[in-house]
Structure 1
Amino acid sequence: MSSELRYGLHAVRAALEQPATQIISLWLDQSRKDRAIQEITELALEQGLDFYPVNREDLDSLVPGVRHQGVVAHCSAQPTFTEEGLFDLLDNLKAPPLLLILDGVQDPHNLGACLRTAEAAGVHGVIAPKDRAVGLTAAVRKVASGAAERVPFVRVTNLARLMRKLRERGLWLVGTVVKGGGSLYNTDLKGPLGLVLGAEDRGLRRLTAEHCDCLVQIPMQGAVGSLNVSVAAGVCLFEAQRQRGFDLA
């Protein structure tokens, strides 16, 4: 069985709260006595999980060079969410599907931020290619603040083929570009929807853009040429939710 280290308060707490995640070992900074660490300790005790109070230096050696926030967990790797699982999910939704499709995002902080934004915007699933794109690393999980455990994340071998299948199921695929697209705010985003965003440096690949139903851009002022992909994802997703009548209740 493969395993992985996870770190950060939100990521480890999310792992404790997910039945599918088996925590093998848990290490806590013994110098921290705050409420966040106490809550993680209580969750571990409820599950009968042994945990080890250690020095901060011990945690630094386990996950060097990162901000672990005083908690590290050794977990069995979660089963990946499959393409078939995605289609099952879509078939059982009561609301129009809302998907986020990321074409080649390689920076783990950007993917983590996209997952966090996706959960906040009510996205039903995030899709990314397996090649030349980051997966669910420990850094991604920490930045995602628990969203990586709660939002279905699907990595596919052939993104263009999956996009064709989504269109056959009635999803309208809207790709984002820096120039040459219609205004995001004049585009109907209320129905079954997949928002497609490109990589940090080069945007959408040609084949990906060709499999979109339409291309849009975010109207911007000033000299900034483009937005960070996670910021652009937030703008697009919350515009979709605004049009759908997103309700705080």
Structure 2
Amino acid sequence: MNYLNEEMVYGKNPVVELLKSGKPVNKILLVTEGAGSRNQEIISLLHERNIPYQFVDRQTLDRLTNRERHQGMLAYVAAREYASVEDILALAEERQEAPFILMLDEIEDPHNLGALLRTVDAVGAHGVIIPKRRSVALTGTVAKTSAGAVEHVRVARVSNLVQTLNDLKKKGCWVSGAEAGGKDAFKADLTGPRVIVIGSEGKGISRLLRENCDEIVSLPMKGKITSLNASVAGSVMLYEVLRQRIYSN
């Protein structure tokens, strides 16, 4: 049996066929075997489809597969198909609305991503952008936490967040990064074509991405705690954008 559960496929032939099928794949794990190994066919396919991969020792795959016959390779399958940034913008155009997009910088907790997908759906935002590396992908846990929202929200997975951000700015989007030390989010103008950037649970927005935001906005904090969970902060920001869109008309 080459399938451990709905999120993992392992064994050389099943993984190769999975890649050839075009189905969404989050990441591939390969046992290190050196140049000229049987991994080369897989690696060529990974480069062709721009799928992240990582070399691990054989003991790691033995543990993940309960020592079943994995032949040195394992694939994590996405819970659903990824969209493109163009798909997200097309949805805004189809609805005749200014783009409303959430960009997540290295969110690693699947529960945070799942919760944010629920909020994105609730506020009517057009989609979410996540990085291909150092970030949780569309796993089964994300799908479950989203309570079905993963089926309705367009999620684009990109190689370079900064480049994507600058492309969106060229298309008329204004970028607001949510982080401590910025202007009061409730006093900022968040109307019009908008990208909201939320940083990782521990480090916040990365320096280069922060520098490419048009503004930094912050939620007022009146208590002893100085920061909020990423999904909570993101949800409050998204609802403030929705509030301004409704009441500015």
Question: Which stretch of the first structure deviates more once superposed, 200-209 or 76-85?
Answer: 76-85
Per-residue deviation, 1:87 = 3.9
Per-residue deviation, 1:235 = 0.8
Q: Decide whether aligned partners of structure 1 residues 76 and 115 sit closer, same or farther in structure 2, where only a CA change above 3 A counts.
A: closer
1:80 to 64, 70, 82: 82
Aligned twin of 1:210: 211
Q: Decide whether aligned partners of structure 1 residues 241 and 87 sit closer, same or farther in structure 2, where only a CA change above 3 A counts.
A: closer
Match status 1:131 vs 2:133: yes
Per-residue deviation, 1:88 = 3.3
What one-letter code is carried by the residue in structure 1 that aligns with 2:198?
L
Mapped contact 1:82–1:155 kept (Cα < 8 A): yes
Match status 1:220 vs 2:221: yes
Q: Structure 1, unaligned stretches of length 5 or more?
A: 7-20, 22-74
What one-letter code is carried by the residue in structure 2 that aligns with 1:154?
A
TM-score of the aligned structures, taking structure 1 as reference length: 0.67
Per-residue deviation, 1:79 = 3.0
Match status 1:199 vs 2:200: yes
Aligned twin of 1:160: 162
- Distance in 2 between the 1:166 and 1:99 partners? 10
Q: Decide whether aligned partners of structure 1 residues 157 and 4 sit closer, same or farther in structure 2, where only a CA change above 3 A counts.
A: farther
Aligned twin of 2:246: 245
Q: List aligned pairs for 1:44-193, cutoff 5 A.
A: 78-178=80-180, 180-193=181-194
TM-score of the aligned structures, taking structure 2 as reference length: 0.67
Q: Note the alpha carbon deviations across 1:149-188, whole angstroms, 9 max, x for none.
A: 100001100000000010001000000112x200001110
Note the aligned Cα RMSD (angstroms). 2.4
Q: Note the alpha carbon deviations across 1:180-204, whole angstroms, 9 max, x for none.
A: 2000011101101000000000100
Q: Structure 2, unaligned stretches of length 5 or more?
A: 8-22, 24-76
Q: Note the alpha carbon deviations across 1:185-233, whole angstroms, 9 max, x for none.
A: 1110110100000000010000110111000110011110100011001
Higher-RCO chain (CA-CA 8 Å, sequence separation at least 6): 1
Per-residue deviation, 1:234 = 1.1
Name the SS for the 1:80 alignment partner: coil
Mapped contact 1:104–1:128 kept (Cα < 8 A): yes
Aligned twin of 1:26: none
- Distance in 2 between the 1:90 and 1:4 partners? 36
Mapped contact 1:3–1:76 kept (Cα < 8 A): no
- Distance in 2 between the 1:96 and 1:222 partners? 35
